[in-house]
Structure 1
């Protein structure tokens, strides 16, 4: 009987730890300080030259990127055709193609096919 209680306690503790690990709170990227500040061209060059090293440096980090809006959709935009920025809400109406903008977001990877750096949880910096 004592053995079963110990096994049950171990299972309960493992379940609680596993749940807390999987369902962590989302980061508030908008209020985090950017670890890197650069232009969209600079980060694109770093990824195109050595994607593995750039991913080790930038992956899951908060960065601030500036550039010209080359594509604009409801919930995303692209800077200089090189940095894809995904927003949680609709992009503000006063953004226009060919206008300069600064964005803060989290680096989630690099798309080799489109040669674009991908950011999510983006916010426009005023």
Structure 2
């Protein structure tokens, strides 16, 4: 009887640890500090030269990117036609094309067809 209680307790503890490992809290990119700060042309140049090494360096990292707004929609901004920034919420209406902006977000990859670095969970710093 005592062995069964110990086995059940071990199974419960293992289940609890496994559940917490699999279902971890999501990252809040807005509260994280940026690991890298650069202009849109700098990061695009790094990706266009060598995608593999740039992905190793930047993929899933929080960065700040600055540049001019070339396109603006309700949930995304394109900076200098080279960095695509997707937001979780709608964007502030005070932003306009050709304004300088600094955006913080998580690098999710590089679209070599459009030659754009992709960021998600973005927030406007300035």
Which TM-score bucket, shorter chain as reference?
A: 0.7 to 0.9
- CA spacing shift, 1:18–1:71, aligned 2, 3 Å: farther
Alpha-carbon distance in 2 for matches of 1:43, 1:25: 29
- 2:55 aligned counterpart, secondary structure: helix
Shift, 1:15, TM fit: 3.8
- CA spacing shift, 1:14–1:116, aligned 2, 3 Å: farther
Deviation string, structure 1 residues 91-125 (Cα, Å, up to 9, x no partner): 11001111110000111111122111111111101
In the superposition, the TM-score normalised over structure 1's length comes to: 0.87
Q: Does 1:113 align with 2:113?
A: yes
Residue 25 of structure 2 aligns with which residue? 25
Instruction: Please list every run of 5 or more consecutive structure 2 residues that lacks an aligned counterpart in the other structure.
Output: none
In the superposition, the TM-score normalised over structure 2's length comes to: 0.87
- CA spacing shift, 1:11–1:84, aligned 2, 3 Å: farther
- The count of corresponding residues between Structure 1 and Structure 2 is 125
Alpha-carbon distance in 2 for matches of 1:84, 1:18: 36
Alpha-carbon distance in 2 for matches of 1:81, 1:108: 17
Alpha-carbon distance in 1 for matches of 2:18, 2:115: 36
Shift, 1:44, TM fit: 0.4
Alpha-carbon distance in 1 for matches of 2:115, 2:87: 20
Alpha-carbon distance in 2 for matches of 1:76, 1:95: 12
Residue 45 of structure 1 aligns with which residue? 45
Instruction: Please list every run of 5 or more consecutive structure 1 residues that lacks an aligned counterpart in the other structure.
Output: none
**Alignment RMSD (CA, Å):** 1.8
Shift, 1:27, TM fit: 1.6
Shift, 1:17, TM fit: 3.4
